[in-house]
Chain A
């Protein structure tokens, strides 16, 4: 019986432009934390090894500091780590791995599988067959050799690869670094640990994408886990248990507001956020003055709750009622202007009038509030 953790796509060094500057730093930091958590989990579950199926680093030329930090984050688990070069950190002649070696940053218990050669997992009957990428892209199936490599009977055969399983990832059909769909079977693998796909995904009973341990995009595909893999004996079907590791929940929510209760729902959604949430909120539909005030206020409050909110209200039209207009004190030509803008915001080129209407309403609202205050 062996037990190990399968993870991949750490993408250390990734930066987040899709959120604001102060938020992006925390998100980048979270990737190191995720690795630290994996180390803790590995210790906690007393695994025999941790297999990282490629893209440990997001790029070849990360700073020295980043390299040191990554390897330092592994300290929590003193058992063997097997790191596989992926397409982002391919084992080129000069690579992040070569630099790590030069920097003397790689601890002894960490093995970088830079060559397609079997690696023994110390203290076990397991052999890892790695398929490292030695180029950024390849059109050959680097796992081909797994099938031809014989091992002693009674040895666990564990494949470690980074690429696209052909035929199952529809949008990646033409992509590089292919992996044959039935590789686990043809190569008599007990388990094939894959990386590249950022969501956790089972390909067949012995083949899994672990996904990235810390999500990095608003795509709900099961990212944010590592896989605890247990094999009773060679040849038996592995027991695979996803363990959540994500610190941040990346969520993308879309809401269409038509009536006041829709605003209630948005308020409820926003008030339920906490510091782990990285939310993308897309609002559409229409609100009156009150609805708008509530939505703005709810978003403002939620910013204090969540790690990050990316709210897109561009598609949310402002439809002030006559009462609203009166309440805003928009008499005379202001009233006429508001009437114009209300009419124009519905037109195909309505974005600018809609924004103008919002500005005008905001100004009036503010003046009114100031007037009320004085």
Chain B
């Protein structure tokens, strides 16, 4: 096809008529700045084809503000060797005229002929829309729309398929897509499109079947439960009847009672055993007691024998002690005799010494007196009174130390007497009236007490003599001391001319009284004769008294012994006496010991004899033999009783042990528990029976098995439906895939020529790259060879410039196919490829040039400088307009 001339009048910007004639094959380049009418020109071509001449919706075609204009487009083109002239006037004077090689065609008929020829349709009403534009809509690219391919292809698809289909017609199916769509619809009713999972009625059937299965399971388990409950019921009923009849717990209770009876018997045995044990203990004790009693009897006899020996021994001991006492007594007697001699000698010596002293004093005094008498004869007279007094006083004179000595001696004597009295043997007596005794040398009668310090003979008149020897004491020594002290005392008394201490004391008192008189007389004499006369007199008196006194004293002495000159000294005599007394004392002490030994032995004999006597008494007691016999008899019977008890206990213990009371106790518990358990189970079973019976009645009325049968029926029916649906869905799925595969094969074959053309142009722009096509023939993705292999990209994801380039290329490819199919092809590029970089634009120009060798291309641009290398002259729209400006004005 070749558009040769375009004329416009009253058409939008072109108020004035304008004619663009002499359009060439290949590229026609129109240039001009914005608002110069490039796009209006393209629009005019579209309007001429797409709008019905009678359309009321084309107000926009009028020049602005001119409401009465009749926008008119006139096109001339050649196609298939024929010349076409199309005149279209809108709105005002509506008209459509088409001449084909001079053959006129009018109105709608003309328009429909064009639509059929070019492959588009008219809008039902209103202005024509893109979806109606078909093939021209694809090939005639609007400003800024070259990159849009999907929609234009979609709108052109039917025409393309139809146009291209003819070339591969025998491969396509007339009803294929409808059948395919139906199969897909049917398939997708049952399966999800993507995953192929069941859906819709299929899912419902499955769900229903599953639900039924669940319900059936529930009911089935209910039936199973019911059945086992019935079995259980029957079993329980049987058991219940058996127990009700047999009452097995009663047998067990009887066993428990029997065991309890046995246990009670064992308890009784144990109680008896305890009592018998006590009795056995008592019997054992009694046996021990009797054995001891008999042993005592034997011991008494042994003791008697033993004591007899002891008494004999003790008696011989006494005998020996007695002999020793006798020896000792003899020694003491001898020693005492010696002592007596020594004492006598000493007394004699002392007496002689005292006589000699007295003699000396007498002689001295006499001498003194004679001298003094002479001196005093002269004063005596005057002092006779005093002298008398003094004489009297002198007679009473007793030195204080002498008195003290006397007192001391008397004290010691008293002490000794007291001691003697304490240690002496006391002999108390109480004689019958008229009876007398001689104790020692004393005759006594009635009652009294005698102290015995030494062996004393008691004469029992008409009966004999008792000799009492006082026991262990120092009475004898004390007595000796008393005698010794007595003699010293007596000598001193004699020396001082007093009989006793009392006399001495009296004399001392009297002397003191006399002294007081003397001092009164002396005081009187002193007062009369204050010089030494008194003294002298006193001396004479004293001497006279002395002389008298000493003469008296001397006179009291017996005459001196004949051997006076050979007498020992008083000290010697005293020593001898002391030695003799020591001897006596020692011997007496030994005697005392001997006596004590004797006395002890005697006492021992007494004690032993007394004990022996007691033993003899016991042993010879008249009932002793009987007692022993009794004890022996008792022992025999006690032992017998004990043995009986012991064997009884042993036998009983064996019995108890044999009876195993703990096991019996366990038996009792076991039997009782078993009976209780059986009884309890009987009760529980009865309860369960009642419960189960009621339960079964209730459950039986539910019609479970009937329900199950219904469910099984439904499940079977539904199962068949599911199988059917499954089979159908599988078949549909299978069919769909098969049909799709077949169709894809066809499509691929259909696409082959287009693919070839696409690759032809793409080879110029991007060597090695490939465009894959969608089923509707639109490009889908671009596959490019890179260093890493192939790289695939969706067309929509590409840059604007790239999409635009591919859009243009695709349209050239479609045009090539349409040309081959004998369809009119003419391409319009309105300001296209403005987003291409220089390199791409250069390649696109090569593409464009190549395409233009087969198709007419109208190229509008506001960038003429970019298109100077297309090898065609550019037409400036501005120039075209100015050329016709006057015409435009004239029309206006």
Contacts and interface: CB of A to CB of B under 8 A. Distances in A.
Contacts of A61: 223, 226, 699-700, 702-706
A262 interface: no
Contacts of B289: none
Contacts of A96: 700
A92 B702 CA distance: 17
B480 interface: no
B174 A332 contact: yes
A84 B766 CA distance: 95
Which 5 residue pairs are nearest across A and B when measured between Cβ atoms?
A332-B173, A17-B716, A59-B705, A63-B703, A355-B731
Nearest to B692: A94
A93 interface: yes
B183 interface: yes
Nearest to B736: A356
A345 to B, nearest CB: 11
Contacts of B707: 63
Contacts of B409: none
Given A59-B708, A63-B707, A360-B739, 12 more contacts: A13-B706, A15-B706, A17-B715, A58-B705, A61-B700, A65-B703, A94-B697, A99-B697, A334-B173, A334-B739, A355-B728, A363-B182
Nearest to A367: B175
Nearest to A328: B175
Interface in A35-49: none
Q: Which of A18, A94, A96 has the most CB of B within 10 A?
A: A94
Given A17-B713, A17-B716, A329-B175, A356 B705 contact: no
Contact of A356 (B227, B231, B702, B732): B732
Given A333-B739, A355-B731, A94 B174 contact: no
A329 B179 CA distance: 11
Nearest to B708: A59
B714 interface: yes
Interface stretch (B319-327, B491-499, B552-560, B740-748): B740-748
A66 interface: yes
B171 A332 contact: yes
Contacts of B701: 63-64, 99
Nearest to A14: B709
A333 B173 contact: yes
A362 to B, nearest CB: 10
A326 interface: no
B705 to A, nearest CB: 3
Interface residues of A, number: 50
A88 to B, nearest CB: 9
23 contacts: A19-B717, A59-B705, A59-B708, A60-B230, A60-B705, A63-B702, A65-B703, A94-B233, A94-B696, A99-B701, A136-B227, A329-B175, A332-B172, A332-B746, A334-B175, A335-B173, A336-B745, A337-B739, A340-B738, A352-B730, A363-B179, A363-B182, A367-B179
A330 to B, nearest CB: 8
A63 B219 CA distance: 14
A58 B705 CA distance: 9
A29 interface: no
B891 to A, nearest CB: 54
Contacts of A60: 226-227, 230, 700, 705
A72 to B, nearest CB: 17
A364 interface: yes
Contacts of B742: 333-334, 336-337, 340
A247 B705 CA distance: 25
A96 B716 CA distance: 26
A329 B712 contact: no
B648 interface: no
A59 B728 contact: no
B176 interface: yes
Q: Max chain A CB contacts within 10 Å: which of B172, B176, B693, B727? A: B176
B734 interface: yes
Interface string A336-356: 110011000000000111011
B199 interface: no
Contacts of B700: 60-61, 94, 96, 98-99
Given A61-B706, A94-B230, A18 B716 contact: yes
B178 to A, nearest CB: 7
B658 to A, nearest CB: 51
Contacts of A356: 731-732, 734-735, 738
Interface string B44-63: 00000000000000000000
B710 interface: yes
A337 B738 contact: yes
Q: Which of A24, A341, A360 has the most CB atoms of chain B within a 10 A radius of its CB? A: A360
A340 B731 CA distance: 14
A148 interface: no
A336 B713 CA distance: 43
B237 interface: yes
Contacts of B818: none
Nearest to A341: B738
B731 A359 contact: yes
B461 to A, nearest CB: 139
A205 interface: no
B709 A333 contact: no
A61 B739 CA distance: 54
Contacts of A71: none
A102 B708 CA distance: 23
Contacts of A95: 230
A342 B226 CA distance: 55
B186 interface: yes
A16 interface: yes
A62 interface: yes
A61 B699 CA distance: 8
Contacts of B743: 333
Contacts of A337: 735, 738-739, 742
A17 B714 contact: yes
A331 interface: yes
A21 interface: yes
B717 A20 contact: yes
A282 to B, nearest CB: 15
Interface string A62-97: 111110000000000000000000000000111110
Nearest to B699: A61
B21 interface: no
B528 to A, nearest CB: 179
B234 interface: yes
Nearest to A134: B234
Interface in B605-647: none
B727 A355 contact: yes
B174 A66 contact: no
Interface string A1-38: 00000000000011111111100100000000000000
Contacts of A92: 230-231, 234
B381 to A, nearest CB: 185
Interface string B166-193: 0000111111101100110010000000
Interface string B226-243: 110111011001000000
Contacts of B697: 94, 99, 102
A93 B233 contact: yes
A203 to B, nearest CB: 30
A57 B312 CA distance: 134
A32 to B, nearest CB: 13
Contacts of A333: 171-173, 176, 739, 742-743, 745-746
Contacts of A16: 713
A233 B426 CA distance: 160
Contacts of B233: 93-94
A360 B179 contact: yes
A99 B715 CA distance: 28
Nearest to B730: A352
B205 to A, nearest CB: 13
Contact of B731 (A63, A331, A352): A352
B517 to A, nearest CB: 166
Contact of B709 (A58, A340, A363, A367): A58
Contacts of B731: 352-353, 355-356, 358-359
